[in-house]
């Protein structure tokens, strides 16, 4: 049997089982080798019944004393066994007559499960068991027992049987060693076959703690190769982009210079540097693929505006996509304010747009009258046809994920080539994570805030002091400042979110009758939200009660106080984004994190990070450590597969060597690079194949 053989080549795998195994991304015999256990159980030793401890999982063998069906709220099969040192009850809720008949008094049974305290002593509920023939010894494993990722209709025993077959096949035909020997030797890693065998069937003396932490050399061997596969895949995309044509945007220098000179503020040195990098990219005849990272308030939007103006001055279209209507509207207002004086009218496109307005926008986009288009996901939907799209700008790119970024890019593919891409994030990404996740992009960092910005002072306060915070809001507004009161999404329900904001709005309106209180939430019509935000911006509303729709893009310089309810339920990056709505003016700003005690360990750590730093990169690193990379990368929203073995936080130290190895392999052998990618990502590349 070859490792490339379909799973149906294995004993016991028919079309029905093969279909179920596809849910675990298992298609070939080879795939089973890389389906690593989630954890291990020790079934190498029998434990005496008299020595059992509640809460442990262990292997027990004993003689059946009795088996009976009882009705205690529901039908139970109780099997009492003894090994001479004590008695144990095996309890089954789902059983057949045939199963009950198996347990004859005097028979010996070996079982494995979790020990619990029951009404009549220790018991195991639905243990795995095996009835022994006369004079047959209890079967103990000679290696730790693996527990694999589960899917409906496929039991652990079946997965172990299939991996046994795959491991035997591997002994006959070992997988190719695709890593250079110099790398595995330098890193002290075992061969691939040895690593796979060890991880599927570890010996009884294996260091389980090290394996559960993912730091065993055998795990690191596989994690390294998986990271390498993803990195090579992204670099391949990058290399392909460099062979693709794009419109070289080498005009518009005067228009750009005049625009920058007319701005009511001076660009920071960091903005100037990033603008130069972008303009240089745009002048090339192949697509720009650049990521701009910048903390909240660092001025990414005006940099994007300069890139768009460059494109428009060269006679092509630019599109800006944002993840929420409120952020897209904010961009549309900003760009309109900047561009209308120079004769450019930005077009608007969103899912909630009225039919007549949408038809008008679509026509203007198709015939080229709309030189700049601002919108939401609606931009890449069916029916949207651009006249000559040459620059795509995506804000808060981690909210979209790579598939959606590519879908918008594809709207601009034409005989002239592919559009340039500029993606932006206010959620700074730690260097090692960016190295792994955005190897297809060049990265620019705006690491400087505009002059005069003061760090936001942050405190965490229990909800029991809510009245005190309400008085603080009254005092700030009496001094001419404005405040936000944010009610986050407590459950995954728009209805509950709306009710929480509505209830807070009513309570605060009653408690602060002397203030003008407004409300903005995600279930409002766009026009209503727009009116509320505009009234707040103009100072007609002093206190704005809002859901997290105001998380990004809202810019009101006079707002100097931010209250966030249920802060303990939110992620660090989201809290940092919300805090970034204040501190945009000259006044000292404050953020109050209201929490419901008692706090768990992670919640305490989150709130402590925000108290201690305003640095978005520090916040992002801690958020990554506490929550993992999925949120930052946008992979959860788009269904992209997670890493099977590697962990971007745990294995970050491997990335520098991954980069070096990828460079060496790419230079020496395209065949090896392709084989590594295929082994880990299959026939479809993880990114870019939409």
Bridging pattern class, strands 420-425 and 289-294: parallel
Q: Average pLDDT for residues 7-26, to the nearest whole number? A: 91
Question: What mean pLDDT value characterizes the chain?
Answer: 87
Confidence of residue 303 (pLDDT cuts 50, 70, 90): very high
Q: What are φ and ψ of residue 150, in 5° steps? A: -100, 160
* Tokens coding 53: 């401890």
Minimum mean pLDDT range among 62-76, 539-553, 665-679: 539-553
Name the residue among 352, 367, 328, 348 with its Cα closest to residue 552.
328
Query: What mean pLDDT comes out for the span 264-277?
Result: 95
510's CB contacts (< 8 A; 6+ apart) are none
CA distances from 183 to 236, 537, 661, 671 (A): 21, 58, 8, 18
Lowest mean pLDDT among 32-41, 226-235, 506-515, 618-627: 618-627
Do 244 and 286 meet the contact criterion of CB atoms below 8 Å apart? yes
DSSP 3-state assignment of 131? strand
Which residue segments constitute the domains of the chain, with CATH numbers given? Answer: 7-40+148-206 (no CATH), 45-140 (2.40.50.140), 253-446 (3.40.50.300), 457-613 (3.40.50.300)
Instruction: Using the Cα atoms of residue 65, residue 68, residue 73 and residue 75 in order, give the sign of their dihedral.
Output: positive
CA distance 127 to 78: 12
Give me the pLDDT at residue 619, please.
85
Give the pLDDT band of residue 636 (cuts 50, 70, 90).
Answer: very low
Task: Give the integer Cα–Cα distance in Å for 4 and 166.
Answer: 11
**Nearest to 445, CA basis, from 248, 624, 632, 616:** 616
In the structure, what pLDDT confidence band is assigned to residue 654 with cuts at 50, 70 and 90? very high
Q: Which of 235-244, 351-360, 421-430, 657-666 has the lowest mean pLDDT?
A: 421-430
Is 603 in contact with 595 (CB distance < 8 Å)?
yes
Is the pLDDT at 109 greater than 70? The verdict is yes
Residues 6 or more apart whose CB falls under 8 angstroms from that of 286 comprise 241, 242, 243, 244, 245, 246, 417
Show Cβ contacts of residue 453 under 8 Å, excluding neighbours closer than 6 positions.
297, 583, 584
d(CA 436, CA 564): 33
Q: How confident is the model at residue 554 (pLDDT cuts 50, 70, 90)?
A: low
What tokens does 565 get? Answer: 């309810």
Question: Region 285-297: what's the mean pLDDT?
Answer: 89
- Judge residue 98's burial from the number of C-beta atoms within 10 Å of its C-beta, 0-12 exposed, 13-18 middle, 19 or more buried: exposed
**Predicted confidence band of residue 652 (pLDDT cuts 50, 70, 90):** confident
pLDDT tens digits, one per residue of 425-463 = 877 677 777 777 777 788 899 988 887 778 899 999 999
Measure the CA–CA gap between 315 and 331, rounded to whole angstroms. 22
Integer Cα distance of 421 and 249 in angstroms? 13
The pLDDT tens digits of the residues spanning 576-626 come to: 888 988 988 878 999 999 999 998 888 898 899 999 998 887 887 787 777
Q: What is the pLDDT of residue 312?
A: 97
Angle (deg, nearest 10), helices 217-243 and 192-200: 130
Per-residue pLDDT at 3 exceeds 70: no
| pTM (global) more than 0.75 | no
- Residues 499-520: what's their mean pLDDT? 90
Q: What percent of the chain has pLDDT over 90?
A: 52
Confidence band for 637, pLDDT divided at 50, 70 and 90? very low
The larger pLDDT score, comparing residue 658 to residue 644, is at 658
Question: Alpha-carbon distance 228 to 69, whole Å?
Answer: 56
Q: Which phi and psi angles does 76 have, rounded to 5°? A: -125, 140
- Between 579 and 42, the more confident residue is 579
Residue 187 has pLDDT above 60, yes or no: yes
- Residue 520: name the closest of 297, 322, 326 by CA: 326
Query: And the tokens for 168?
Result: 């035997």
- Taking a C-beta distance cutoff of 8 angstroms, is the pair 243, 428 a contact? no
- pLDDT score at 489: 61
Model pLDDT for residues 394-430, shown as the tens digit of each residue: 987 666 666 677 788 888 898 889 999 999 987 767 7
pLDDT for res 551: 58
Which whole number is the average pLDDT over 234-259?
91
Q: Which residue has the tokens 């339920």?
A: 569
CA separation, residue 132 to residues 67, 107, 129, 363, 653 (Å): 16, 7, 10, 77, 49
Closest CA to 55 of 149, 128, 124: 124
* 403 vs 506, residue with greater confidence: 506
Output the pLDDT for position 460: 95
The pLDDT tens digits of the residues spanning 316-369 come to 999 999 988 878 888 998 899 999 999 999 999 998 888 999 999 999 999 999
């Amino acid at each position: 049997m070859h490792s490339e053989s379909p799973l149906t080549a294995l004993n016991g795998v028919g079309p029905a089982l093969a279909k179920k195994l596809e849910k675990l991304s298992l298609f070939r015999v080879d795939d089973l080798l890389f389906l690593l256990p989630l954890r291990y159980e020790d079934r190498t030793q029998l434990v005496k019944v008299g020595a059992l401890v509640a809460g442990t999982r262990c292997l027990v063998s004993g003689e059946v004393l009795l088996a009976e069906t009882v009705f205690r709220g529901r039908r139970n099969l109780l099997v009492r066994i003894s090994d001479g040192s004590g008695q144990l009850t095996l309890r089954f809720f789902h059983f057949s007559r045939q199963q009950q008949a198996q347990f004859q008094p005097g028979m010996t049974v070996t079982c494995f499960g979790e020990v619990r305290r029951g009404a009549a002593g220790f018991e195991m509920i639905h243990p795995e068991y095996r009835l022994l023939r006369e004079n047959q010894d209890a079967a103990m494993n000679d290696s730790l027992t693996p527990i694999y990722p589960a899917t409906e209709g496929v039991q652990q025993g079946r997965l172990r049987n299939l991996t046994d077959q795959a491991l035997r096949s591997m002994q006959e035909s070992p997988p190719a060693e695709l890593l250079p020997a110099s790398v595995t030797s330098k890193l002290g890693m075992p061969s691939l076959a040895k690593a796979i065998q060890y991880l599927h069937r570890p010996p009884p003396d294996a260091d389980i703690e090290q394996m559960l932490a993912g730091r065993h050399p055998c795990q690191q061997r596989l994690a390294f190769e998986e990271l390498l596969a993803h990195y090579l895949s992204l670099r391949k995309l990058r290399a392909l982009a460099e062979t693709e044509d794009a419109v070289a945007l080498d005009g518009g220098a005067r228009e750009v210079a005049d625009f920058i000179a007319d701005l009511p503020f001076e660009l920071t040195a960091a903005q100037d540097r990033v603008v130069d990098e972008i303009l240089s990219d745009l002048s090339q005849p192949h697509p720009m693929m650049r990521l701009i990272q910048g903390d909240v308030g660092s001025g990414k939007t005006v940099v994007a505006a300069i890139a768009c103006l460059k494109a428009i001055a060269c006679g092509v279209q630019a599109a800006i996509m944002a993840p929420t209507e409120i952020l897209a509207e904010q961009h549309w207002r900003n760009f309109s304010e900047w561009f209308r004086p120079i004769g450019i009218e930005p077009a608007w496109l969103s899912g909630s747009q009225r039919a007549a307005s949408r038809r008008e926008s679509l026509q203007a986009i198709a015939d080229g009258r709309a030189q700049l288009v601002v919108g939401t996901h609606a931009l890449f939907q069916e029916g949207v046809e651009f006249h000559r799209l040459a620059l795509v700008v995506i804000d808060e790119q981690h909210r979209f994920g790579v598939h959606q970024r590519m879908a918008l890019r594809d709207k601009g593919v034409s005989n002239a080539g592919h559009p340039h891409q500029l993606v932006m994030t206010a959620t700074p990404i730690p260097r090692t994570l960016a190295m792994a996740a955005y190897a297809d992009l060049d990265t620019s960092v705006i690491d400087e805030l505009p002059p005069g910005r003061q760090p936001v002072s942050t405190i965490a306060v229990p909800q029991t002091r809510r009245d005190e915070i309400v008085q603080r809001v009254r005092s700030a507004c009496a001094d001419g400042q404005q405040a936000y009161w944010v009610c986050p999404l407590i459950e995954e329900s728009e209805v509950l979110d709306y009710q929480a904001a509505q209830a807070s709005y009513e309570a605060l309106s009653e408690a602060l009758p002397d203030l003008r209180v407004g409300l903005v939430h995600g279930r409002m019509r766009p026009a209503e939200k727009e009116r509320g935000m505009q009234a707040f911006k103009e100072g007609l509303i002093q206190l704005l009660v809002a859901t997290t729709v105001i998380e990004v893009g809202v810019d009101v310089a006079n707002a100097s106080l931010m209250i966030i309810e249920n802060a303990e339920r939110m992620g660090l990056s989201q809290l940092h984004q919300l805090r970034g709505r204040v501190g945009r003016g000259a006044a000292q700003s404050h953020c109050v994190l209201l929490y419901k005690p008692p706090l768990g360990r992670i919640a305490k750590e989150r709130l402590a990070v925000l108290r201690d730093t305003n640095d978005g990169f520090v916040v992002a690193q801690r958020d990554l450590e506490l929550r993992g990379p999925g949120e930052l990368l946008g992979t959860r929203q788009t269904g992209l597969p997670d890493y099977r073995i590697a962990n971007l936080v745990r294995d970050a130290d491997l990335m520098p060597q991954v980069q070096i190895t990828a460079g060496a392999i790419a230079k020496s052998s395209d065949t090896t690079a392709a084989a590594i990618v295929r082994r880990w990502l299959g026939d479809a590349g993880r990114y870019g194949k939409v």
